[in-house]
Amino acid sequence: MELKDALFIILMFTVVIGGLIWMARVFLLKRARTAGHETIRPYLRAVPSTDEQKLDALDLALKGIVISLLGVLFTPLLIVGLVPLYYGLRKITMTLMGLGLIDSTST
């Protein structure tokens, strides 16, 4: 019975983490299309230029922090939380450096 219980717990963690990743992908794809990007990657790499995009980057970073902190309780969430944390902080840092002043999509 112990082996079955362990396998069941591993299976449940896999399903939960997979579901969270799927929901995050759907959520980010919706945001990317709202911002005018076709896929998620250009959206995550874009430098925010408007206040709404800057707030969106901050929101992304804060969600990454919360998910990473939940990783203290459920270890697999730590890895999932690092992705939005990285991209959110990257966008905020690029904004603070003034890199969003020039539209990089015009070239």
Instruction: Say what the pLDDT of residue 99 is.
Output: 67
Instruction: Say what the pLDDT of residue 3 is.
Output: 82
- The helix (run of H) or strand (run of E) holding residue 10 is helix 2-34
pLDDT in tens, the chain (107 residues): 588 888 888 888 888 878 878 888 888 889 889 888 888 888 888 888 788 888 888 888 888 888 788 777 777 777 777 888 888 888 888 888 776 655 555 44
φ, ψ of residue 5 to 5 degrees: the values are -65, -45
Instruction: Say what the pLDDT of residue 34 is.
Output: 86
Tokens of residue 58, six digits? 């901050």
The C-alpha atoms of residue 44 and residue 61 are separated, in whole angstroms, by: 11
The C-alpha atoms of residue 28 and residue 19 are separated, in whole angstroms, by: 14
Tokens of residue 34, six digits? 């709202």
pTM of the predicted protein model: 0.63
The C-alpha atoms of residue 24 and residue 79 are separated, in whole angstroms, by: 13
Instruction: Say what the pLDDT of residue 73 is.
Output: 79
Q: How far is CA 99 from CA 13, 48, 50, 63, in A?
A: 40, 9, 12, 23
